Structure 1
């Protein structure tokens, strides 16, 4: 019998957010991002203000981690509306997912520092 993939939910990584959902915002996930799980680290494109998976480098805004996707989304073929955490939150590094170019401890540390600049504290452990 094949193993089922466990769904990631916000409570897996979101440990504290501001009262009255002040940590949450809405936006548009750009088409072509594929199927993203809750906990995907996001960046905002400068030209369109749409959101994409954060990258280790770039010059279009994708290189700056600014938010974390709250609910899973599928932007394989079209832009989709999303809800994300972008301020005043504490999250666990367990459950966060990183773009394919954020692939080592140094790049993750840089992205974590960028999230910290948004008042999102990434904590080790559960």
Structure 2
């Protein structure tokens, strides 16, 4: 028997968010591999594009600033996406790339990990 695993759905990591659209923004995501909802993101200083959080980087992505809302396919060009950037509670088990430093960084944006 083949067992299929359902991927995480857009926004599944959200426990609560601010009223209306206050928690989310449209963003530019750097070219790269496919990304899934719940990916912790940093902001590349030189290009102002979001990319996966990388704690040992020196390009700006060493600071977690947002969480990807929906999936993005792999691409060799900049992609448009949506991210939760402020005023939300999120489920720790549904996040990718989270470490204690990223959790502190996100808290500065009122993104609270539960």
TM range (shorter): over 0.9
The 1:26–1:11 alpha-carbon spacing in structure 2 relative to 1, beyond 3 Å, is closer
> What's the TM-score once normalised by structure 2's chain length?
0.93
Describe how 1:1-126 pairs up with structure 2 within 5 A: 1-32=1-32, 34-98=33-97, 108-123=99-114
Deviates more, 1:18-27 or 1:4-13: 4-13
In the TM superposition, residue 19 of structure 1 has moved relative to its aligned partner by: 0.5
1:84-122 superposed Cα distances (whole Å, 9 cap, x missing partner): 000000001011111xxx6xxxxx111100000111000
In the TM superposition, residue 35 of structure 1 has moved relative to its aligned partner by: 0.7
The 1:12–1:27 alpha-carbon spacing in structure 2 relative to 1, beyond 3 Å, is closer
Please give the root-mean-square deviation of Cα atoms over the aligned residues, in Å: 1.3
In the TM superposition, residue 9 of structure 1 has moved relative to its aligned partner by: 1.5
> What's the TM-score once normalised by structure 1's chain length?
0.85
Unaligned runs of 5+ in 1: 103-107
SS at match of 1:36: coil
In the TM superposition, residue 12 of structure 1 has moved relative to its aligned partner by: 2.8
Higher helix content, 1 or 2 = 1
Answer whether contact 1:16 1:90 (CA < 8 A) is retained: yes
- For 1:67 and 1:21, the matched residues in 2 are separated by 15
> Number of residue pairs matched?
114
In the TM superposition, residue 26 of structure 1 has moved relative to its aligned partner by: 1.1
